Chain A
């Protein structure tokens, strides 16, 4: 008998029992859909994490060590956590490509100032580059200002109004920050932000600000490593060393945010959710498999006469076995493919509400295909054996 004919007759007999076939498939559909959904979402999370990692380091791997004193957290602390000795010590590490001491705080500090005799508080954005963002009046800080060390500042609309009633009046007027006078060259919007969440009110040149008596403690060190370094391990070692031998180890604590740790935690969480869902889906698939077996047993006993007739016209045991096995496999495979498509659909719908996209890989297709075929094989073989081992004479009597 041709294999094609086996498929045709299997499909026909499944079609003859449409409702029962569909109900039997339901368990497979749900199980496979659940697995595909969670795997697609899991893949999405993983790829998103990798992407954000690489965007930050532009291919290179880096980390940041911070120094915190116990008393004064931000401004006012006159202690610098890092000095040149610390820098040399860190640079002796072979894995470190580059080490830079920074003020930290990502360029924004909180400071008091005096504008037209009035005391004000504000966040100062210390810029290293020309800046004219959010400008509504006057001009921005130019390259020339930075090079010539001009004492110029941009202030926001509220400060301008407070000091000089209107933004226009504030242009070319003065503001005193840290005891140093700056010329207001431009006015910016009130909602000026850096990196979308740090609000600032004033912009001045970082170099000028620091050269003129402002004390910005150097409490941050940025490290760049040789490609392929275990960044969190190396940084941890450096931090331990600093806490023992660093210039300020008796006045505070050196620490770092372990991105690797955080990412590992996140991916561990996703992994355990995946295992959990896969475990539940496996149970569902197992129960579905039992359902398939049950249906096949019913089918075999209902079609005893048919089996007898087929044997009487010369069907071999193997042909009967394959007929029922193929029926079981078609049943589970159809269920598996419906489940696969539903899983993709569900994952896409869910990821529309999440900050990442579900990712459908060919391997999940193979997984759905393979799993449902194997379920059909495992749970179909016993009923098919029963069918093919039937005693012809007893059936036909």
Chain B
């Protein structure tokens, strides 16, 4: 499904270039649960932004299913992002003056789904993440864990091909983190492909494949054979 070949990425800084990713080769198949680990500043977010169609400005080849992502124009790139990926951020990224339901329905709004159908689908997804009857609540009245559930609901509402999460538990306490990871695992067991960036060994150990990054290079890429499961 996801196929990165010799991907390099550098930021322009002043008059020189500052390279962040070096020769990344990565394939992810449908249904996988991949954890990406590495020290801060190693380029995890940069990589996952490219995979999640947020960043198109890189060298090398990214083929998603049959689509050559690097060849898309900005509009088609945005459409692909709307249809094919769900993104979960560390700090939730909810629109604070809109209620939970409107936040969750946002991807469907941009996909042109009818208001009524959005409403039905949003309530269903809220049930799925354990936030039944929360449609009209405001994000600021929810706990961090609940807000992240809203963000996850938003990420899966349009039934994307895969889900990308950049340190989704980074702003949560360990008990809440556990619940969120449980949610990811459930989603994966129901067939959702997940790529998750984390600092946390415990979180990473819940995945089935671990990619380690150091200084912009893939250091290791292996199956997790975890006995504590």
Contacts and interface: CB of A to CB of B under 8 A. Distances in A.
Contacts of B49: 393, 396
Given A1-B109, A5-B109, A312 B81 contact: yes
B95 interface: yes
B200 interface: no
B107 interface: yes
23 contacts: A2-B114, A5-B115, A13-B97, A16-B97, A309-B93, A312-B54, A312-B87, A312-B93, A313-B106, A313-B107, A313-B110, A314-B82, A314-B83, A314-B107, A314-B110, A315-B82, A316-B78, A317-B75, A317-B78, A396-B49, A396-B89, A396-B93, A397-B45
Contacts of B114: 2
Given A313-B154, A393-B49, A396-B54, A319 B95 contact: no
A314 B54 CA distance: 9
Nearest to B53: A314
Interface in A215-246: none
B75 A305 contact: no
Contact of B110 (A1, A308, A317): A1
Contacts of A13: 97
Chain B residues touching A, majority SS: helix
B186 interface: no
Interface string B77-102: 01101110001010001110110000
A390 to B, nearest CB: 12
A394 to B, nearest CB: 10
Nearest to B157: A313
Interface size class of A (residues with CB under 8 A): 20 to 34
A99 interface: no
B81 A1 contact: no
Given A313-B107, A314-B79, A316-B78, 11 more contacts: A12-B98, A309-B93, A310-B95, A313-B82, A314-B78, A314-B107, A316-B110, A393-B54, A393-B55, A396-B54, A397-B45
Contacts of A314: 78-79, 81-83, 107, 110-111
B74 interface: yes
A306 interface: yes
Contacts of B106: 309-310, 313
A317 B82 CA distance: 13
Given A315-B110, A317-B75, A318-B75, A308 B93 contact: yes
